[in-house]
């Protein structure tokens, strides 16, 4: 029987290098800044450089331009980050998303673009990162940012939901293939309030209603996802691979409960 090894509680990432895709805004920026706070060297990528890069206490992320929907650029981004820092310990596949679209009329080009961003990009980036991590001391870790849309119906974003479901399947398969050198995990993100929340969810009133229906009484924040990334990337998660960590505040309230409540209320009122 192997004796348990005690690992001190330490979330420091000093000396480690992380690449966060889509790390210039929203959840990605929160992740990048949390990793910087923990001491990591951080690279971020997006199609265009923002006016302000993620930073913490005078330390900024390094930016690499690229379109992760293109396989050749995925490899270039990873190679540039590894060359700049001399290694790569963590890849966070965060870039993703989708505008609303009618599944019956969405064009092939639209659907292919959504799949490319949300599923193919993590595949290409992970392959490139594995080439670096598998051959370096300490191996590495990959964290895929998925969505509750992968676990429940996603009307209006059907292709996005399907791609994120594929991302969860990819996570467990890569964890099997690439262990023990590379751990691969996913975070299943719920409804999150970002800088464009009202545009995403419709209005401030809609945000309030969504928050009230969540067991935790609020919507998620970028910091909630960033803290989950920090845990999965740390030595505390040394035996965690192929896992999907749900960060959704308890999940969305099933609609049928509202129907039942209204029905019971009408019944009591009529008695």
Catalytic, 201? Answer no
Q: Compute the chain's Rg from CA coordinates.
A: 20
| Dist CA 33 CA 23 (whole Å) | 9
| Dist CA 99 CA 114 (whole Å) | 9
Q: Which two tokens stand for residue 229?
A: 């990334």
3-state secondary structure string across 85-131: HCCCCEEEECCCCCCCCCCCCCCHHHHHHHHHHHHHHHHHHHHHHHH
| Dist CA 152 CA 94 (whole Å) | 20
CA distances from residue 5 to 2, 8, 16, 113, 239 in whole angstroms, order as listed: 9, 10, 22, 46, 11
DSSP symbols for 156-184: T-HHHHHHHHHHHHHHHHHHHHHTTTEEE
Helix intervals (H) in the chain = 26-37, 71-85, 108-115, 121-133, 158-178, 197-201, 204-212, 222-233, 255-270
CA distances from residue 242 to 18, 34, 100, 179, 216 in whole angstroms, order as listed: 19, 23, 30, 10, 26
CA distances from residue 240 to 141, 186, 225, 231 in whole angstroms, order as listed: 10, 11, 17, 10
Instruction: State the catalytic residue, choosing from 34, 126, 147, 160.
Output: 160
Catalytic sites, residue numbers: 160
């Amino acid at each position: 029987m192997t004796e348990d090894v005690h690992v001190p509680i330490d979330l420091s990432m000093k000396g480690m290098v992380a690449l966060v895709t889509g790390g210039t805004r929203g959840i990605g920026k929160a992740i990048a800044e949390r990793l910087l706070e923990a001491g990591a060297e951080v690279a971020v990528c997006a199609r265009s450089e923002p006016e302000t890069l993620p930073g913490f206490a005078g330390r900024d992320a390094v930016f690499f331009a690229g379109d992760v929907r293109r396989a050749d650029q995925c490899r270039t981004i990873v190679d540039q980050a590894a060359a700049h820092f001399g290694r790569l310990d963590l890849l966070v596949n965060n870039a993703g998303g989708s505008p609303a679209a009618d599944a019956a009329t969405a064009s092939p080009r639209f659907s292919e673009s959504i799949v490319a961003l949300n599923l193919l990009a993590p595949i290409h980036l992970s392959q490139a990162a594995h080439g670096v991590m598998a051959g370096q001391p300490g191996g590495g870790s990959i964290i895929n940012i998925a969505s509750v849309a992968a676990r429940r119906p996603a009307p209006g974003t059907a292709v996005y939901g399907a791609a994120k479901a594929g991302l969860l399947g990819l996570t467990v398969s890569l964890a099997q293939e690439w262990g023990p050198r590379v751990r691969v995990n996913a975070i299943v993100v719920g409804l999150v309030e970002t800088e464009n929340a009202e545009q995403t969810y419709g209005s401030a009133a809609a945000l309030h209603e969504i928050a009230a229906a969540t067991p935790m009484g609020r919507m998620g924040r970028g910091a909630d996802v960033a803290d989950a990334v920090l845990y999965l990337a740390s030595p505390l998660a040394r035996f965690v691979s192929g896992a999907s960590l749900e960060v959704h505040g308890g999940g969305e309230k099933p609609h049928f409960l509202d129907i039942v409540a209204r029905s019971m209320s009408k019944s009591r009122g009529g008695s």
